[in-house]
């Protein structure tokens, strides 16, 4: 028998009889009534439990709900602020500011748009980098193609001047030499500026004599100075160390730019190149180098302009004096690599003073020990040299130049021939062109070093890339000469290796 609710059970006992309890329809009715009683009890218990929640619990729940509402409102405000910040370019669209989902959808759409824009920027950046590499490669190729014939032009002019030309030919040859030298300066300036802009101009660190460098630069500019009826002199502090560590080529380039400018813009005046020690310690020296001239001077409002690329103080300067306007821009960039800067004091009609300081490491020793015998006696005592070169006019020039220094010259037209000649005949030195058909200079040197590690190999290159030195040393060569080369410097370099 089914167990009934206690109240229903009591009512059945009081009013029911046996016949009712045997009636199935009545029993089904009683079961439904019993379920109602039980459901009523459960609902009453839940109601009693709900009312039993304390006032503190209700307050806590209410506080949490309020916090959630505040957080939602704060989130909506922040989302709206974010939306305003990212939609500055196109403006805010119409939207329900209280509809969180609508704001999130707009933000997601804006983020997707920004991602697409970033992808386009990355593609544009990659294209720009490709264009920059193509420009660098183009300049490198053009450098080689221009420098190679220019080497012969400068070289042949040098040889003709050395071969007792007729008096009526001397002036023509001097014009040829001056013009070709100026062309080389222009090419070098453009290539150097390109390397600086690409961040590929690296400073070398090697011992050098600053005294000798300054003296040589003043000497090299003396003829031009005399032609303009100027007096040029070097004033060198006796406390300047004999040897210091630095990039003699680049420091020399800075000094030569400044000295040649002083000569160019001065007529019947004075140019002083001074080297003064500002401070001296056991390991380093701070040197001030100044170039002071009594030339045309520079207006105060033009001083900053002259250091801008391709810019000069006045358009009339280009017509009157020439130049690309790159020299001072390159000078400033090189000094910046030394954590220094160029300073100027000038006044129109009263001349200019360009000066800068360098902090260089001091080397123990003597400049004479570093440079060795650099006398220009032009006699190398029938030393046997292998010239590896594929360009006919460069072969003609180099052969005449070397034979004029009492050198026996043998020629190989490419690297493969050079390797075979080195296997079969001893040489005192090899002059190795780098770019040649059949086999280039790098490959040829690598193969030669497989069976000969003693013979010095000097690269002859028309390339202006910044990593030439690293590449030639890695291939097994001892040094390199950049075409077009100064014959006197070339002779001194050969003499060092053939001594």
Buried b (16+ CB within 10 A) or exposed e, 219-257: eebbeebeebebebebebeeebbbbbebbbebbbbbbbb
pLDDT at residue 345 above 70?
yes
Query: Which has more pLDDT, 391 or 56?
Result: 391
19-28, 39-48, 421-430: range with highest mean pLDDT? 421-430
Which percentage of the chain shows pLDDT scores above 90? 31
Q: How much is the average pLDDT of 365-390?
A: 75
β pairing state of 284-293 and 270-280 = antiparallel
Q: Residue 294 has what pLDDT? A: 93
Q: How much is the average pLDDT of 343-354?
A: 92
The helix/strand count (H/E) of the chain reads as 17, 12
Pair of tokens at residue 50: 């709900």
For residues 460 and 440, the answer to whether their CB atoms sit within 8 Å is no
Q: Residue 313 has what pLDDT? A: 46
Buried b (16+ CB within 10 A) or exposed e, 360-376: bebbeeebeeeeeeeee
Q: How much is the average pLDDT of 309-314?
A: 55
pTM over 0.85? The answer is no
Q: Residue 316 has what pLDDT? A: 47
Query: Which has more pLDDT, 95 or 378?
Result: 378
Q: How much is the average pLDDT of 6-23?
A: 75
pLDDT at residue 438 above 90?
yes
195/185 Cα distance (integer angstroms): 15
Query: Which has more pLDDT, 193 or 400?
Result: 400
Query: Which has more pLDDT, 58 or 55?
Result: 58
Place of tokens 């001077």: 297
pLDDT at residue 404 above 50?
yes
Q: How confident is the model at residue 465 (pLDDT cuts 50, 70, 90)?
A: low
Buried b (16+ CB within 10 A) or exposed e, 119-157: eeeeeeeeeeeeeeeeebeebbeebbebbbebbbbbbbb
């Amino acid at each position: 028998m089914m167990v009934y609710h206690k109240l229903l059970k009591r009512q059945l006992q009081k009013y029911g009889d046996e016949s009712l309890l045997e009636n199935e329809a009545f029993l089904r009715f009683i079961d439904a009534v019993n379920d109602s009683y039980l459901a009523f009890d459960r609902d009453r218990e839940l109601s009693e439990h709900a009312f039993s929640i304390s006032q503190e619990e209700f307050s806590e729940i209410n506080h949490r709900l309020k916090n959630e509402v505040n957080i939602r409102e704060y989130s909506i405000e922040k989302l709206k602020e974010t939306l305003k910040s990212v939609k500055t370019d196109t403006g805010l669209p119409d939207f329900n500011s209280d509809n969180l989902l609508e704001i999130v959808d707009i933000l997601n759409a804006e983020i997707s748009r920004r991602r697409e824009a970033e992808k386009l920027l990355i593609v544009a950046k990659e294209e720009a980098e490709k264009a920059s590499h193509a420009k660098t490669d183009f300049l490198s190729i053009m450098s080689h193609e221009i420098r190679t014939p220019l080497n012969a032009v400068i070289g042949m002019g040098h040889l003709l001047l050395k071969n007792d030309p007729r008096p009526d030919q001397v002036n023509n040859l001097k014009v040829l030499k001056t013009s070709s030298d100026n062309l080389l300066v222009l090419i070098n300036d453009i290539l150097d500026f390109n390397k600086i802009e690409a961040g590929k101009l690296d400073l070398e660190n090697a011992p050098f004599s600053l005294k000798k460098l300054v003296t040589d630069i003043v000497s090299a500019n003396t003829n031009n100075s005399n032609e303009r009826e100027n007096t040029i002199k070097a004033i060198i502090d006796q406390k300047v160390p004999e040897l210091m560590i630095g990039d003699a080529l680049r420091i020399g380039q800075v000094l030569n730019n400044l000295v040649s400018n002083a000569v160019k813009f001065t007529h019947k005046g004075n140019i002083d190149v001074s080297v003064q020690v500002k401070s001296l310690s056991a390991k380093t020296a701070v040197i001030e180098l100044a170039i002071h001239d009594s030339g045309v001077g520079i207006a105060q409002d033009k001083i900053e302009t002259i250091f801008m690329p391709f810019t000069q103080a006045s358009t009339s300067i280009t017509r009157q004096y020439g130049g690309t306007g790159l020299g001072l821009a390159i000078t400033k960039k090189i000094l910046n690599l030394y954590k220094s800067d160029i300073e100027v004091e000038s006044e129109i009609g009263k001349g200019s003073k360009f000066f800068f300081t360098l902090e260089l490491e001091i080397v123990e020793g003597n400049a004479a020990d570093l440079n060795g015998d650099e006398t220009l006696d032009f006699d190398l005592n029938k030393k046997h040299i292998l010239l590896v070169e594929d360009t006919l006019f460069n072969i003609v020039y180099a052969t005449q130049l070397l034979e004029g220094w009492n050198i026996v010259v043998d020629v190989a037209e490419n690297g493969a021939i050079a390797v075979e000649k080195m296997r079969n005949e001893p040489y005192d030195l090899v002059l190795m062109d780098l770019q040649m058909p059949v086999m280039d200079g790098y490959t040829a040197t690598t193969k030669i070093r497989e069976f000969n590690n003693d013979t010095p190999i000097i690269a002859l290159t028309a390339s202006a890339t910044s990593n030439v030195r690293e590449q030639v040393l890695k291939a097994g060569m001892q040094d390199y000469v950049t075409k077009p080369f100064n014959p006197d410097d070339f002779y001194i370099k050969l003499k060092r290796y053939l001594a």
